[in-house]
Chain A
Amino acid sequence: MNALAIKKGSSGKSAYNLRNPLGDHQETHTLTVLVDNEAGVLARVIGLFSGRGYNIDSLTVAEVDHLGHRSRITVVTTGTPAVIEQIKAQLERMVPVYAVNDLTVEGQSVERELALVKVTGAGEKRVEAMRTSEVFRARVVDSTLESFVFEITGTPEKIDAFVDLMRPLGLEEIARTGVAAIARGA
């Protein structure tokens, strides 16, 4: 009997098979977490995700209220509906957390990410890179005879698309901020 030779999820009798009325499909949610801007708060949040096996697709953090010492963390995560609920509950019970909002379910929201994209090349490729950047409304923030650094803002999908187009044109380096998000309306 080799207990460890079982394929994962191969047995319908596995104790790990949760009877899950919320469904087993994966969903991607954007959560915003308002926290005390105290030492180690980001490590706490990241530690929760890694310690409990949750996914982080993207994570950004910055102080948003200097006087109140509050930071806002925007985290994009993927999991089953039950896991997403569990993530929210786990975040909410943390001592430095003020509020957790799930922008994916709480009405419409705006998501933006900024990327700096360095492209090197000459001749036709360089012209094409410039032309494509205009289509995407990217700005040139640095330029040499052999290179451009483009600044592009948009949804992660838009940035993905831009990066894909830059790849054959001499893509050298990418820096992305991760997603910042906010609910629409008042």
Chain B
Amino acid sequence: MRGDQVTDKNLCMALINQMKWDAACLTQRIVECDDEHLRQDYINVLNRTFAEQKQAYNYANQQGWHQPMLAEQSMINQVQSDTQKMANEIQQSMMTMHRQAQSQAIQTPQQQMMNMGQGMGMGTFQSYNMPAMGNQQNYGGIPQQYYR
């Protein structure tokens, strides 16, 4: 039997692939669209496309034509480990940002004015990036009314 023979299976897989391509094209149209009415119509067509693609997929799955390969345990472990690393990195960077915001919030208005003045010259980067080091003596002394 030749691979390119017209069978129900081939037709169904072509149907699914065409739906996937249509969904990708519609997504591109939506993100590039300025007009609200046109955008909404694209979205409606895309939602219908998703539903139809799923219907075709379910049919192929029932026929045993499309059975996705299950992930091996080692692969699952690897992804879990990588995800944990990413989560830790995000948490670390959030903590750094939080500390910076906190130390900026406890500055007195006078210090803030001074920092703004420094901002006019070469000191901008340093005064913004290292507030925790330069203002630690004020930690806890001033109410955090400037913190947002």
A and B associate: no
Q: Which residues of B contact A (CB under 8 A)?
A: none
